[in-house]
Amino acid sequence: MKSHKSSRSVFNIVIRIVICAAVLFIGVTGMHTLAKMKKPPTEAKYEERPLRVEVLEVMPEDAPVSITGYGQVNARDVVSVAPEISGKIVEIHPRLEVGEVIPKGETLFKIDPLNYIAADKQRRATVQQWKNTILRLKKQYAIDQKRLKSLTRNRELANAEFGRIRRLFEQDSVGTHSGVDAAERSFNSAGDLADQTAQTVTLYPIRIKEAKNSLTAAQALLSVAKANLRRCEFSAPFDGRVKEVALEAGQYVTPGMSVVTLADDSMLEIRVPLDSRDARKWLRFNSDAAQRKTAWFSKLYPSVCKIRWTEDQEEHHWEGRLHRVVKFDQQTRSLTVAVRIKAENALSNDTKKLPLVEGMFCSVEIPGQTMKNVIRLPRWAVSFKNTVYVSVENRLKTIPVKVARTQGEETYVAEGLKPGDMVITTRLVDPLENALLESGK
């Protein structure tokens, strides 16, 4: 019984092994058959794909430099009007309001002139009084000069009479001692009167000079009185735009009190700070060292500058002229220049466009010197590392260059490129060196 069970178990194991072997055989045979049925893939051929770029054949040229700066428009002349005398305001110009333009010569305000009219009359009277005094002294001087001649002659006669009486009394015993004394008294009186008159005549030129000095002082005071009377009315010194007003009728004003501020818009000025390096390299100065005696900048060449309002989207521009160097700021390392614009250039014939007026913030393009033998490229064609990509036999090459100046959307290269080089102008981000290119112009 046991042997029967053992043989059955061995048989089962054998059967299982045979089945497994058959399954493996069928699987291997099927896989081999399927492998023979599969076609091998077509071999792929590797081809380098070119990079499409735009290139520019470069040639050296001379390019003018344009220096751009920013500044605010201001009237060249701004006058703060202050009365020179005190008094009550009795009259004001009817259009004395901020923003109004008062024509030259029109009265802005008037101060009560009554006190100054009285002072003028008083000074005139004083002047006339001293003039009369001088005339009187001159006439008395002439009269006393004639009188002095008569008194001098009387003294001579009295002296002769005294000598004669004294000789008669002393030599011939004629006459009396009282007669001699009377003759001497007459001589002394005549001499004393002549001396007093001579002294008076001598002092007349001094008295006349003193009177003339007093007349001069009175005339000076009269001039002040006349000036103060004229100062009662203040007229516009030019066609002025009213910027500030602090004045009312009936107000009492004092000398030096600012009441009106006027701006002369016939000439505008923009002060433009420029980078000192740009100014040093590109500004045009009319330098003549032989004629210069001060340690300051030479005169600037009066270049025509383009002025644009930063809020004008239509690119309308005005023209001004470069005028002078205003200052050098060491802290910001900037050079401030002044650009002047005449009123006729600040206006626009197009009624839809605003004129250039004080307060506008503008960009100013100042023509500078000319760059020689530079290559003009789009700004983006030169990297921040000062390198450019060029096409050499349709391969990308990176070349370092020396940038002379970046101006607007253009960069000017001074060194590193040769005439005829094909510079890539397409914007590229980290391209592979020596990459194949497909270029177009």
Which of 331 and 25 is assigned the larger pLDDT?
Answer: 331
Domain 54-64+372-440 and domain 83-112+232-257 have a common topology:
no
What is the per-residue pLDDT for 6? 64
Averaged over 374-396, what is the pLDDT? Answer: 91
**Residue 171 in this model has a pLDDT that exceeds 90:** no
**Residue 4 in this model has a pLDDT that exceeds 60:** no
| 114 three-class SS | helix
Beta bridge partners of 328: 335
Domain boundaries, the chain: 54-64+372-440, 83-112+232-257, 115-230
For residues 301 and 287, give the distance between their C-alpha atoms in angstroms, rounded to a whole number. Answer: 9
Count CB neighbours of 195 within 10 A. 14
**Residue 210 in this model has a pLDDT that exceeds 70:** yes
Sheet of strand 107-111: strand arrangement: 233-235, 107-111, 87-92, 252-253
**Residue 5 in this model has a pLDDT that exceeds 60:** no
**Residue 7 in this model has a pLDDT that exceeds 70:** no
What is the per-residue pLDDT for 342? 93
**Residue 165 in this model has a pLDDT that exceeds 90:** no
* CB contact set of 381 (below 8 Å; sequence gap of 6+): 56, 388, 389, 411, 423, 424, 425
The one-letter amino acid code at 180 reads V
The H or E element containing residue 346 is helix 343-346
Beta bridge partners of 80: 261
Averaged over 311-320, what is the pLDDT? Answer: 81
**Residue 336 in this model has a pLDDT that exceeds 80:** yes
CATH 2.40.420.20 fits 54-64+372-440, yes or no: yes
User: What is the residue-wise DSSP string for 132-193?
Assistant: HHHHHHHHHHHHHHHHHHHHHHHHHHHHHHHHHHHHHHHHS--S-HHHHHHHHHHHHHHHHH
For residues 341 and 323, give the distance between their C-alpha atoms in angstroms, rounded to a whole number. Answer: 10
What is the per-residue pLDDT for 119? 94
**Residue 217 in this model has a pLDDT that exceeds 60:** yes
Average pLDDT of every residue of the chain: 86
What is the per-residue pLDDT for 311? 87
Share of the chain above pLDDT 70, in %: 90
Q: CA 224, 228, 234: angle at the middle one, nearest 5?
A: 140
What is the per-residue pLDDT for 200? 78
The one-letter amino acid code at 245 reads V
What is the per-residue pLDDT for 264? 93
The pLDDT tens digits of the residues spanning 265-311 come to: 999 999 999 999 888 888 998 866 556 778 888 889 899 999 999 98
The pLDDT tens digits of the residues spanning 405-436 come to: 988 889 999 999 999 899 999 988 888 888 88
Averaged over 378-389, what is the pLDDT? Answer: 91
Residue identified by tokens 């040093």 is 280
**Residue 1 in this model has a pLDDT that exceeds 60:** no
Cβ atoms 99, 241 nearer than 8 A: yes
**Residue 39 in this model has a pLDDT that exceeds 70:** no
For residues 391 and 399, give the distance between their C-alpha atoms in angstroms, rounded to a whole number. Answer: 10
Task: Confirm whether pTM is higher than 0.85.
Answer: no
**Residue 242 in this model has a pLDDT that exceeds 80:** yes
Classify domain 83-112+232-257 at the CATH class level.
mainly beta
| 343 three-class SS | helix
What is the per-residue pLDDT for 40? 65
Averaged over 346-362, what is the pLDDT? Answer: 83
Cβ atoms 109, 234 nearer than 8 A: yes
